[in-house]
Amino acid sequence: MQSIIFKGLGRYLPETRVTNEVLSQRVDTSDEWIRTRTGIGERRIAQAHETVTFMGTQAAQQALEQAGLKAEQIDLLIVATMSPEMLTPSTACLIQKHLGTRGGAFDIQAACSGFVYALDIATQMLRSGAYQHILVIGTEKLSSFIDWEDRSTCVLFGDGAGAAVLGTLAQTGVGILKNTLGADGQGAGCFEIPAGGSLRPACQQTLSNRDHYIKMNGRELFKTIVPLLEQETLRFLTAQNLTLADIDWIIPHQANVRILESLCKRLDYPMEQVFLNLEHYGNTSAASIPLALMEALEQKKVLPGQTLLLMAFGAGLTWGFSLIKWPL
């Protein structure tokens, strides 16, 4: 059997940095308040021309260059985003127009778990033998959906894009070994953008109520997600006959350092082996894991032969894990 591997990674981060100090001039908050509750020090905020299509295209071009492939060699394009430019056409089709890839193109929406969901879809399609190269992109412009008057949410999010070219390798036991996905719709109310869909299309009332912005019950989300992740992490590893001692690095969705610290305490897993970069970028939703993976590789934290656990969790509620043996 062939292995499914990352052939190239790419990213795009807006140039504009918004520090906690800058935010504190806009809302009633402070650097200390934000850092102690989230671990975030700054975030990137996209300008008008830096759309999800633009950012996703830039990240994809870098991933293609690293993979040594041309756009026309991509058989399928999958985009994970919860902040599309419009309901239709898909962001994937808009990016395809700029890249010139061939084959299918579609979006998926699993909020912050989107990249791992897309990885699983791409993995299964590559294993079918019907595809040779698949481009997966997580791209988000969450600043368009932030209520800048709500200090409980506006401090959390940032913009950016990450991309990966997946392909096959004639070697067994490396690359993406196993993925698993999960969801629990009972937790849907913890994080939502209430208006803008077919249930509550834009009108004067939804605009007045600020219902087109992110609404989050942070306390309930924290209380729910930590024990859920503990349970699902152990379940996933047990199914692979592994323990946390077999994992060299956890590369999680970069949401909140308190969530990750609490989870590691429950799992008895060292925080030193959890790769974090949310201090610089905040929560970039579907873009956060590819951004973190690429940075971990650049910093030589991840080494050939090591075992990684990608861990995603987000609105829905959704979650997903990807077990990876980085090739030698």
Cis bond before residue 317 (omega within 30° of 0)? yes
pLDDT of residue 280: 97
Q: CA-to-CA distance for 222 and 147, rounded, in angstroms?
A: 20
Tell me if 326 sits within 8 A of 308, measured CB to CB.
yes
The predicted model scores a pTM of 0.96
Active centre residues (catalytic): 112, 253, 283
Per-residue pLDDT tens digits of the chain, which is 328 residues long: 789 999 999 999 999 999 999 999 999 899 999 999 999 999 999 999 999 999 999 999 999 999 999 999 999 999 999 999 999 999 999 999 999 998 999 999 999 999 999 999 999 999 999 999 999 999 999 999 999 989 889 999 999 999 999 999 998 999 999 999 999 999 888 899 999 999 999 999 999 999 999 999 988 889 999 999 999 999 999 999 999 999 999 999 999 999 999 999 999 999 999 999 999 999 999 999 999 999 999 999 999 999 999 999 999 999 999 999 999 7
Angle at 111 between CA 84 and CA 216, to 5 degrees: 105
Closest C-alpha among 258, 206, 194, 203 to residue 229: 258
